Amino acid sequence: MNNYFIGIMSGTSCDGIDITMCKINDKKIDFIDGNFAPFSDKMRNNLLKLSNSIDDNIEMLIKSDESLADFIVKKINKILLENKILPCEITAIGSHGHTVRHINSDDINYSLQISNHAKIAKQTGIDVVCDFRRGDIACGGTGAPLVPVFHQAIAQSYEPTVVVNIGGIANITILPAIDDNNSDIIGFDTGVGGALIDVWSELHLKSRFDDKGSFARSGNCDYELLKSMLSDDYFKIKPPKSTGRELFNLRWLQKKIAKQKPCDVACTLCNFTATSIIDDIKKYASNTKKIIICGGGLKNDYLMELLSSLAQPTPVLSINDIGYKSDYVEAMAFAYLAYLHINKKPANITTGGTKTTLGALYPK
């Protein structure tokens, strides 16, 4: 067996899919190739609407489920062709799908991802492992984050470390030292990552994101607004916990702002993301010796500067600094989750649930 796995990720940023090919065994996770495939405006708008409870539409859900699967199949075939690898050489695909609803409340916990995985398996000729989040919830977890088990595999060392993944939502993995047998790995969503920065940029810059954080840098932080943002009840909940666009969205933001300049709101949003992350690190990982950042947030220079400043004297590094490509870390994580499923190893090490193998398998 070649131990080749493909990982596919579509995150809260809703900008496209990351696809990666890896070679994985018990000792090593090797990156082979990866690329990013952006969504068309139509697909992106439909997916964003589906994450908005005001726009519930079953027909749109079904059509998006099918069209996203077709899109993914094309990109899988492309990466196979470019690497001259046959479908029969791939052990499995680990696919996250795209989250259209993720709710954690006292009444109900559920998480729904779409992308017709049965179709992907049949049309690529490769087994597909998917539906990881609902498996975690069924075992008593919160369904997110799922990446800590991967962070453990690539970043745990002989000193306490925190890995921060900044996508649309931000999450952290608190890794005790390898020789510390008395501390547990902890992982949870700290709150919003780039989702509000992106939606604000789209509203005022007509751009899907704030390039390098230049819009935010041009403004001034409104500390009263920042205080109001940080007063949200989510930040009073103890981990394990998870969140999504269902809470942190444009409606939430518009209730907070008054007549601030758009650039000042952008600046405050960057401070909001950075502060909520570092506050939780100081609260739950005060002994950490280094912080490693991955995800799209790495491309926001202003956000990275804020994180480094707030974290002092703890050094803030990029995942690139430890030998992994930041653009593909989450996709690699889902390739690794597929590997764990195939080898019947537990994946939910941090969300408070029973330790078990996660994912459902659609055969080729």
Q: What are 36-63's pLDDT values in tens digits?
A: 999 999 999 999 889 877 667 899 999 9
Domains observed in the chain: 4-142+329-362 (3.30.420.40), 148-314 (3.30.420.40)
Is the model's pLDDT at 1 over the cut of 70?
A: no
For residue 346, the SS3 value is coil
Tokens of 179: 């020789």
Sheet holding 186-192, edge to edge: 186-192, 169-175, 161-166, 290-294, 316-318
More reliable by pLDDT, 127 or 240: 127
Residue 44 Cα distances to 11, 63, 131, 152, 288, angstroms: 12, 13, 21, 32, 38
Three-state SS string across 307-335, please? HHHHHCCCCEEEHHHHCCCHHHHHHHHHH
Least confident window among 66-75, 247-256, 351-360:
351-360
Query: What whole-number distance in Å separates Cα of residue 255 and Cα of residue 252?
Result: 5
Q: What are 214-224's pLDDT values in tens digits?
A: 999 999 999 99
Contact, 214 vs 191, CB < 8 A? no
Predicted local distance difference test score (pLDDT) of residue 103: 83
Query: What whole-number distance in Å separates Cα of residue 161 and Cα of residue 336?
Result: 20
Mean pLDDT, residues 222-249 taken together: 94
Is the model's pLDDT at 353 over the cut of 70?
A: no
Q: Look up the pTM and report it.
A: 0.94
Query: What whole-number distance in Å separates Cα of residue 147 and Cα of residue 101?
Result: 19
Query: What whole-number distance in Å separates Cα of residue 292 and Cα of residue 165?
Result: 9
Predicted local distance difference test score (pLDDT) of residue 116: 97
Contact, 40 vs 18, CB < 8 A? no
Q: What are 83-137's pLDDT values in tens digits?
A: 999 999 999 999 999 999 888 777 888 899 999 999 999 999 999 999 999 988 8
Predicted local distance difference test score (pLDDT) of residue 347: 87
Contact, 17 vs 9, CB < 8 A? yes
62 backbone φψ class: left, alpha, beta (φ>0; ψ -120 to 50): alpha
Query: What whole-number distance in Å separates Cα of residue 114 and Cα of residue 316?
Result: 35
**CB neighbours (10 Å) of residue 174?**
24
Predicted local distance difference test score (pLDDT) of residue 55: 66
Q: What are 29-43's pLDDT values in tens digits?
A: 999 999 999 999 999
Average pLDDT of the chain to the nearest whole number:
93
Phi–psi pair at 57, nearest 5 degrees: -155, 105
Q: Which residues contact 108 (CB under 8 A, 6 or more apart)?
A: none
Query: What whole-number distance in Å separates Cα of residue 275 and Cα of residue 254?
Result: 20
Is the model's pLDDT at 142 over the cut of 90?
A: no
At position 38, the amino acid (one-letter code) is P
Mean pLDDT, residues 246-258 taken together: 93
Q: What are 154-206's pLDDT values in tens digits?
A: 999 999 999 999 999 999 999 999 999 888 899 999 999 999 999 999 999 99
Residue in the structure block whose two tokens are 């649930």: 353
Q: What are 258-298's pLDDT values in tens digits?
A: 989 999 999 999 999 999 999 999 999 999 999 999 999 99
Q: Which residues contact 288 (CB under 8 A, 6 or more apart)?
A: 160, 161, 162, 174, 281, 314
Residue 164 Cα distances to 55, 168, 192, angstroms: 32, 12, 12
Tokens of 123: 């049309």
Contact, 160 vs 287, CB < 8 A? yes
Query: What whole-number distance in Å separates Cα of residue 343 and Cα of residue 357?
Result: 9
Query: What whole-number distance in Å separates Cα of residue 217 and Cα of residue 7?
Result: 34
Q: What percent of the chain has pLDDT over 70?
A: 97
Query: What whole-number distance in Å separates Cα of residue 182 and Cα of residue 175?
Result: 12
